[in-house]
Structure 1
């Protein structure tokens, strides 16, 4: 528990050496330009926009940016606010309550930890605490979740179900845009859902450290609730750009598996999290992934008139390699490309 940033950072006047990154890896100025043309997709059902227009908007965003924001998505604002409050209340609990969830055992499906899953092997630590647990199927895993704050399981359970419905709806629009067969994104490709609650306390010197490193996501699709504090940055055309939070919107990231399934037509977005010196930032992430034994490969309809760019693999092997490479996007994707 003493390693949790949220445990000791409030009294920290300077950044500990093992949080100070080498000069070439530091964010430097965290005041980067905001990306002015991030696609914002309105999913309202009563809009005049046709289904085909919405499909094309999402497909274009996935191809050009690898991420977009969604509004009027059907998840109630009250539920979003209540869930964010639960996340913040969790980190505000007394240390003895958080200790019930804290663990360095990576095999535990529900646990609180700091930095990344390999804290003991890191030369430099990230300014982040993280609590994560499985969400699907809900009735099989909710008993593993934290019992406190009171009502956590009830509120976060409802939220997880609603975000899952939204994720599958977005994947269905992507499926239609790619021309994949009905039911393509079934349980095998979407049966794992992890909720991850990140907490980035205020930091003495944000220019020297990171909340999360430069990476792209390993999974199929990620749905992020940013909250109201800036901190998400996306790497685009050789520069870092900030993603401004839109109240009650979700940021949707394309993961490596969807890039592979689309045979490179869609792109996974490279991003990172920075800190700030003024206030803590809490975010809630849902990762939708294949089941571990699922075979992943470029969809057959995506290679009818071309050659497959990526080889066939089991998702669990990809995940293991991704962790070994510490999320190095270029190294991971290069290793899974078919060599000419």
Structure 2
């Protein structure tokens, strides 16, 4: 083959790759709408990173510790706090039941999220942005500007604080989305604050969070959480023709303080527990709550953020809604001084959201690499 023909073929392949890359940035939903029957190369993981599906599905099904929110508010609070502490130390995850959020609010939020991803690509793409601080952002993969292999996920991220400032930027279609997200964000924020109070108490940072003196430091901590950041992430995992070649989200930990995750009835969430990947059994009308990197730092390593990932399904699409919470964007996250002593020296550097955003903008987000960058050796 002559050099001119070789050059022409190479140029053709590069043009094809550029065209493909442009299509991938439009999202998985867009690919599926075009009727693909195979997973494109851009989504195929290296063999060692691919999920292994056991022959017997029940072999890896896993029940997380269950925390009854009603018990946390009643006379069994001390027992419930011990269970909460054990779950955060040993699993980094728990399922919260009897949380008090109305079923209708949950159903409305899931349905509104589902309808957003059923909009035309032209409508969805209005909210595409590379600005990670944008009040609304539609995108795909994990970090589509850095990921070498894309993951089988599209997302809609809604900044929720302060609501009055960000609400005008939220999508106006589908018509029910704004109101459903407003109601849901308010209810999950209240629930988060109540769980944070219990976590502070379980760490021994307050004798009783119900009777905090407004002049002491513990009240200041609660005030910071009340004024803290909240991000709603509606995840869409379309059905996948070859689910053993890719993942909805690769192994990672969450960067905030706590994440309240709402799943639909389709299984997909896996956590790493005792060296193996286990699939979390969805419990209807419950929240999966997990420790984030900021809580690991704040607790000086006593409560640990845990790696988790998402499988995709060959026949069913899946919707999940994550409400990510932490301190205000401008706050510094550091180990609580009350949890540092000679036996438990300080284990982490101070950090803030600016450091995190700068890090993930320039690195591929894998495992717990951001948190590892904050460790003191």
Q: Same fold (TM over 0.5)?
A: yes
**Residue of 274, 290, 304 corresponding to 1:253:** 290
The farther-off stretch of 248-257 and 138-147 is 138-147
Q: Residue in 1 aligned with 2:82? A: 56
| 1:207-222 alignment, distance < 5 Å | 207-222=244-259
2:266 matches 1:267: no
CA drift at 1:311: 2.1
CA drift at 1:293: 2.5
Please list the CA deviations of residues 299-319 of structure 1 after superposition, one character each: whole Å capped at 9, or x if unmatched.
011014531111223342144
Sort the Cα spacing of 1:123 and 1:329 in 2 relative to 1 into closer, same or farther, 3 A.
closer
User: Counterparts of 2:152 and 2:349 in 1: how far apart (Å)?
Assistant: 36
CA drift at 1:189: 8.2
Please list the CA deviations of residues 110-148 of structure 1 after superposition, one character each: whole Å capped at 9, or x if unmatched.
12111123x243321111111101112211211111111
- Show structure 2 runs of 5+ residues with no match: 1-21, 207-217
Q: Residue in 2 aligned with 1:326? A: 364
| 1:151-300 alignment, distance < 5 Å | 151-181=176-206, 182-183=218-219, 184-187=221-224, 191-300=228-337
- Show structure 1 runs of 5+ residues with no match: none
CA drift at 1:37: 4.3
RMSD of aligned residue pairs (Cα, Å): 2.1
Question: Which has the larger share of helix?
Answer: 2
Please list the CA deviations of residues 59-84 of structure 1 after superposition, one character each: whole Å capped at 9, or x if unmatched.
11000100101011011111101111
Sort the Cα spacing of 1:159 and 1:189 in 2 relative to 1 into closer, same or farther, 3 A.
closer
User: Counterparts of 1:266 and 1:98 in 2: how far apart (Å)?
Assistant: 38
| Contact 2:146/2:362, CA 8 A, preserved across alignment | no
Number of residue pairs aligned between Structure 1 and Structure 2: 338
| 1:34-183 alignment, distance < 5 Å | 34-44=60-70, 50-117=76-143, 119-181=144-206, 182-183=218-219
| Contact 2:60/2:279, CA 8 A, preserved across alignment | yes
Sort the Cα spacing of 1:46 and 1:60 in 2 relative to 1 into closer, same or farther, 3 A.
closer
| Contact 1:218/1:319, CA 8 A, preserved across alignment | no
Q: Select the structure of larger CA radius of gyration.
A: 2
2:32 matches 1:9: yes
